[in-house]
Amino acid sequence: MIRPFLGVERSATGRRWRDRLDDAGQAAALAIVQEHGLDDVLARVLAGRGVAAVDAPGFLEPRLRTLMPDPSTLIDMDAAAARLADAVMRRESVAVFGDYDVDGAASSALLASYLQACGVPVRIHIPDRLIEGYGPNSEAIRSLAAAGATLLVTVDCGTTSHEPLGEARRLGMDAVVIDHHQAPEDLPPAVAIVNPNRQDDLSGLGSLCAAGVVFVALVALNRELRRRGFWAKGGEPDLMGMLDLVALGTVADVVPLVGLNRAFVRQGLAVMKARGRVGLRMLADVARLDGPPRPYHLGYLLGPRINAGGRIGDAALGARLLMSEDETEAGTIAATLDRLNGERQVIEQAMVAEGEGLALGQVGVDEEGASVIAVGSDAWHPGVVGLVASRLKERFGRPAFAFAFGADGLGAGSARSVAGVDIGKAVRAAVEAGIAVKGGGHAMAAGATLARERLPDLAAFLEERLSDAVAQARADKGLSIDAAITAGGAKLDLLGRIEAAGPFGSGHPEPTFALPSHRLVEAVEVGRGHVRVRLKSGDGATLDGIAFRAVGQPLGNALFESRGEVVHAAGQLAVDRWQGAERVQLRLADIGRPAGRP
């Protein structure tokens, strides 16, 4: 067995530390250094993400022009582009039906903004999570038809909506679906269903979020309108300027930041940095976003606030914010979303505490019980169950399902999974088996509707279906270290070089660095359950850090117990801005004991 990194066999969080690079990876890193003159740390980061020496220059400067596919490689794309072009040419009234999460809001705003630029009247409908639930519903379809819509476009939903799309057809509305969720073999009636995760789609673009698929569809539509001479007199919308919305949806929906997605986010962050979109500018200000936008800001500052409207407020607020061109209106919406996000955090804390207690009853104190957590409560808010599932997944290292049951006995539930365990496929199987009323999703996240009395049946079904995959995922549990550095070496110029390999996110992990044998000179609780730390190297250099949501968890307990002692620390580097000054901070992920220390 390969020796653990720095000898850490079992860390404070129960993980074995390992070098991200095997022998072949170390050889690849050396080749990158020798062929391109890059420093060793950056070379290790690149090699650890599968970048070969020959590809390193292109990887560090990803070009959307190079990575952008021909839209026609997606099945039904040409039919979708033609029908949308017809709507533009005839100035039809178009209804855009989106999901209530960030990806849905971004997708809706992206499509609607383009169509409005073409002079098309557009109405956006975002369903109320509590009243309407996920996806198109017949009542909303009838309302949109009565308002004059002749074309319905669903974004980030619709792939399984047989009855609502059937109702649209009966009312004389054409339907186009632009989605990315996993699809059954039997598809609903529509002029086109553009979804790279259709079983018959061979485009290889299944990792795109809905906003990414919408952007590709707009490229196809723009091309079709050019062919028809629509832009002969100019006025063509700036598609590249819309990539801020694609980046937002891509990061918030936690799809892999590789290939085309990485280029989308890289370019989208550059667009967002210019602060041209009024709604995002106002939201960034209320969220106190410091410095240039990064994936972290999209995922942890902007995304949760947009989501807050769909979770516990007005689901349409996010799309309205992203569409707004009025500073007063956008400022009011941003402030409302910020307030709702604070209320959501309070609700979430109480639900997570109860959920952890229920989960412990399933997995046991030694965490050797259930492979999949499935919990629920009549008192939970259905808009927050996804966050509860996410926290339980993080806490117990296995897939987690959380349900909020209503007075009618039905529960709205969300699931979050771990790498290597396809929860979306399992949920679809549960629906086909008659256990769940409806449901779907993708590998890492899913949703379902379930009768209260069927919760034990679902737990048993998931246990039988996923236990082997979960066991394998847990056996592979470990913390991959990209390189060892010291507090004195954690400088802004190092962080700048590392960020050239970004943006980082799902599927393209942010580098994790180990700081060997540093004294933990400070560990104090701050904020809502965070731990602020200060590490000191043997040469006297210090590095401040933060361990988020660590109080009461194994990492937080270990930090408080290790104050004044020498530890190995591991985490990610980030820029901390305070009163106009910049410095590097460590987002602490774990600590381990040096060899020979108890």
Interatomic CA distance for residues 177 and 214, integer angstroms: 10
Tokens of 509: 């992990």
Q: 542 has which bridge partners?
A: 536
Query: What three-state secondary structure class fits 242?
Result: helix
> Helices marked H in 364-401 — which ranges?
385-396
All structural domains of the chain: 5-48+482-592 (2.40.50.460), 66-274 (3.90.1640.30), 364-476 (3.10.310.30)
Q: Helix (H, G, I), strand (E, B), or coil: what is residue 269? A: helix
pLDDT tens sequence for the chain (598 residues): 578 999 999 999 989 999 999 999 999 999 999 999 999 999 999 999 999 999 999 999 888 999 999 999 999 999 999 999 999 999 999 999 999 999 999 999 999 999 999 999 999 999 998 888 888 999 999 999 999 999 999 999 999 999 999 999 999 999 999 999 989 899 999 999 999 999 999 999 999 999 999 999 999 999 999 999 999 988 999 999 999 999 999 999 989 999 999 999 999 999 999 999 999 999 999 999 888 999 989 999 999 999 999 998 899 999 999 999 999 999 999 999 999 999 999 999 999 999 999 999 999 877 788 999 999 999 999 999 999 999 999 889 999 999 999 999 999 999 999 988 999 999 999 999 999 998 888 888 899 999 999 999 999 999 999 999 999 988 777 999 999 999 999 999 999 999 999 999 888 999 999 999 999 999 999 998 999 999 999 999 999 999 999 999 899 999 999 999 999 999 999 998 877 788 999 999 999 999 766 5
Q: Phi then psi for 441, rounded to 5 degrees?
A: 150, -150
In angstroms, the CA 460 to CA 451 distance is 15
Q: Strand pairing partners for 373?
A: 400
Residue 106, token pair as written in the block: 């971004």
Residue 202: count of CB within 10 angstroms of its CB: 10
CA angle 166, 211, 151 (to 5 degrees): 35
**Contact indicator for 509, 500 with CB cutoff of 8 Å:** no
Annotate 17-79 with three-state secondary structure: EEECCCHHHHHHHHHHHHHHCCCHHHHHHHHCCCCCHHHHHHHHCCCHHHHCCCHHHCCCHHH
CA distance 426 to 418: 13
Q: Which amino acid is at 18?
A: R
Place of tokens 């500052």: 301
